Amino acid sequence: MSTAAIIPAAGLGLRLGGETPKAFREVGGESLLVHAMRGLLAATAADLVCFVVAVPAGTEELMRKELQPYAGNVPLLVIPGGAERADSVRAALEVVPVDGIDCVLVHDAARAFVPVEVVERVVAAVRDGAAAVVPVVPVTDTIKRVSAAGEVVDTPDRSTLVAVQTPQGFDPAVLRRAHAAGGIGATDDAMLCERLGVTVVTVEGSEDAFKVTRPRDLLLAEALLAERRLV
């Protein structure tokens, strides 16, 4: 069986600043999106057979030409993204082949340096029967819940908290059902599955799979890439 990968890359990334959409900001001379694609392709155990990338509307042809050399022999579909991340994923699901796909990965281009072993752990868990899988890392900060007035309400037990990363992996039918049900305020695809009562399984993530969100994260990404190129 095989895996399809969806990368929603239509967002502007306002917190990062600049005029270039976040997924197309460069690190080491290549865009975050290219680094993300390369990382997924390197996970050979995933048997990747399809890339679907959602980009800003009107840039599809340009992005297709830019990205095709990095897709290798894997078919690449570039589609216009939606107003929200969930809209882009939903549109991508409509073009993912139905037959022969046993796992769909949804990956943030901003997590461009996820290690191969994380990708393969996610796919393996889906193939072992999990309907929804997320990679996670422990929360190291103390987290406090606050009221609208900014007053501390309580302090959750840190040992029960994790930070969720991507790629997230899904049984294709479950992910389609979750997006068909929709929902306001979901911050990731696993949350849509949770709302259906689907059990979401966790696997070990990696500190290297951090999300590039602010300018300082670009510096960290440059340092990580330089370190990898020395190995």
User: Rounded to an integer, what distance in angstroms lies between the CA atom of residue 229 and that of residue 183?
Assistant: 42
Which residues fall within 8 angstroms of residue 21, CB to CB, at 6 or more apart? 9, 10, 11, 12, 13, 56
In the chain, how many domains are there? 1
Q: What is the mean pLDDT of residues 176-194?
A: 92
Q: What is the mean pLDDT of residues 88-109?
A: 95
Q: How many residues does the chain have?
A: 231
Statement: residue 1 has pLDDT above 80: no
Taking alpha carbons only, the member of 112, 131, 129, 122 closest to residue 194 is: 131
Q: What is the mean pLDDT of residues 121-150?
A: 97
Reported confidence tier of residue 168, pLDDT bands at 50, 70, 90: very high
Which residues fall within 8 angstroms of residue 162, CB to CB, at 6 or more apart? 136, 137, 138, 139, 202
Task: Specify the 3-state DSSP secondary structure of 168.
Answer: strand
Provide φ and ψ at 108, rounded to 5°. -85, 125
217-231 pLDDT tens trace: 999 999 999 999 876
User: Rounded to an integer, what distance in angstroms lies between the CA atom of residue 136 and that of residue 205?
Assistant: 5
pLDDT score of 230: 78
Could you tell me how many helices (H) and strands (E) the chain has, helices first? 7, 12
pLDDT score of 2: 94
pLDDT score of 160: 94
What six digits make up the tokens of 18?
A: 């600049």
Whether the link from the prior residue into 167 is cis, omega within 30° of 0, is yes
pLDDT score of 12: 67
Could you say which DSSP state residue 16 is in? G
Percent of the chain predicted with pLDDT > 70: 96
Q: What is the mean pLDDT of residues 194-199?
A: 97
Taking alpha carbons only, the member of 83, 66, 58 closest to residue 8 is: 83
Q: What is the mean pLDDT of residues 31-46?
A: 95
Taking alpha carbons only, the member of 109, 134, 132 closest to residue 8 is: 109
4-15 pLDDT tens trace: 999 999 876 555
Structure-token match 């103390």, residue found: 142
pLDDT score of 189: 97
pTM above 0.85, yes or no: yes
CATH for 7: 3.90.550.10
For residue 140, what are the domain limits? Answer: 2-230
First to last CA, the chain: 33
Assess contact for 135 and 66: CB atoms under 8 A. Answer: no
Reported confidence tier of residue 182, pLDDT bands at 50, 70, 90: confident
Average pLDDT, the chain: 93
